[in-house]
Chain A
């Protein structure tokens, strides 16, 4: 992971780079990010974090995390890897609608009007969850007092600009420029 910091306060740049590394390490998501840029202008105050995600590898087929059994009128999904349960349920809701998906117990889901072959090709992508974890890491990093925020988002780059009272137009322009530079990298 490449980490670049810029700004007006050298101590803050060094310490926040180290803090972010420690936060990512603690959350076990160091290898999720390809590049990080942090812009700190404490006098304004402006704090911009921009992260470029690596392409998420390893979308799991549904049969790797659950057992599929055809039943009368539907299919029974028995979850074998609980870590994937929330994402699996969300995927089933999205595909079949909430009316047809019934969660019987913590590990058992029944889908009415479907067969195991309908589910066979489905894959669970870790991307959304990783994005949520990266966002959580960013919220942990951003100084608590900088409550006014603006975000720029594209498929693999997230940029969050933070200030205390309100953005000056050129601050947001600087943050947007940084976002586009990260996209172009």
Chain B
């Protein structure tokens, strides 16, 4: 299995580091250069971690575990109004990014209020494109207990719910963190940072559980391998977006228009097969993006067997 790590060091001899990653069959996921400092997120075969650790020491850098690297998390607030943004929603998103996640912040159109709070089918579909969702609701106990949970009860991806009052059990979520609620300033006090850590740790548990689920019926290829092929596309190379290809636990989001590039993406070759055969390629609800969900090995074998049977 692949392991995603982050290298934090200088640019000196960094090309040797990239070559080593390539030699052991790994992939660079993201590079961020800040003057002479460089942050490299990369995926390598688990068993080769020792080689990378040795090279990191040689280059004077450090290796950081980023358990959420390779996942995209959505943080959802009741609205985009000043009552809910930027705190605490953006604080939670920032905390998740420190663990390597790509985050998206989303405000619902009609999520405010008690009985009037609602989520549309379109909003649910958008949220379900991500690996996990964090819902951030407010300070009224009766409102959270009786009404607000309805916002996430039909969501088909794992949900972490956060609210203000201490509530023993919130329905329909995989994890909950109480004691956050509404904020009008940055979460920077020790007890608030502790709460952000708590949210991150719940999300990490959820993402790891999803990865274990996926490992029980392994994907045909690791998402990082698809990213590696997609990076060769002219449209991706010319993209001005900061992360044109985003890894998911079971696939990839490519930020190029579906109609224009679906055929080119489907025709990419991986281990002698077309990407279109080993993954489901669909348009994303987020305009200008393509979702690629990788099929499991067993699913591909099953489809191959069915095809062979059909051709006989």
Contact = CB atoms under 8 A, between A and B. Distances in A.
A67 interface: no
A9 B185 contact: no
Chain A residues touching B, range = 20 to 34
A34 interface: no
B115 A165 contact: yes
A47 B123 CA distance: 29
Contacts of B183: 19
Nearest to B143: A42
Contact of B184 (A12, A22, A40, A164): A22
A11 B113 contact: no
Contact of A12 (B82, B84, B113, B140): B140
Interface string B99-122: 000000000000011111100000
B181 interface: yes
Interface in A1-20: 9, 11-12, 15-16, 19
Nearest to A146: B113
A143 B47 CA distance: 53
Contact of B139 (A15, A144, A164, A165): A15
A144 B78 contact: yes
A10 B142 CA distance: 12
A23 interface: yes
Contacts of B112: 143-145
Nearest to B113: A145
A178 to B, nearest CB: 19
A42 B148 CA distance: 13
B83 interface: yes
Given A11-B165, A12-B165, A145 B116 contact: yes
A144 B81 contact: yes
A145 to B, nearest CB: 3
B141 A19 contact: no
Contact of B140 (A9, A23, A26, A140): A9
B200 to A, nearest CB: 23
Interface of B, helix, strand, loop or mixed by DSSP: loop
18 contacts: A9-B165, A11-B139, A11-B165, A12-B140, A12-B164, A16-B139, A19-B182, A23-B184, A45-B143, A143-B113, A143-B140, A144-B83, A144-B112, A145-B112, A145-B116, A145-B117, A164-B114, A164-B116
Nearest to A11: B165
B141 A12 contact: yes
Nearest to B110: A145
Interface in B181-196: 181-185
Contacts of A145: 78, 112-114, 116-117
Contact of B83 (A11, A43, A143, A164): A143
B16 to A, nearest CB: 50
B201 interface: no
Contact of A26 (B166, B182, B185): B185
A110 B80 CA distance: 44
Contacts of A43: 142
Interface in A91-115: none
Contacts of A19: 182-184
A19 B78 CA distance: 18
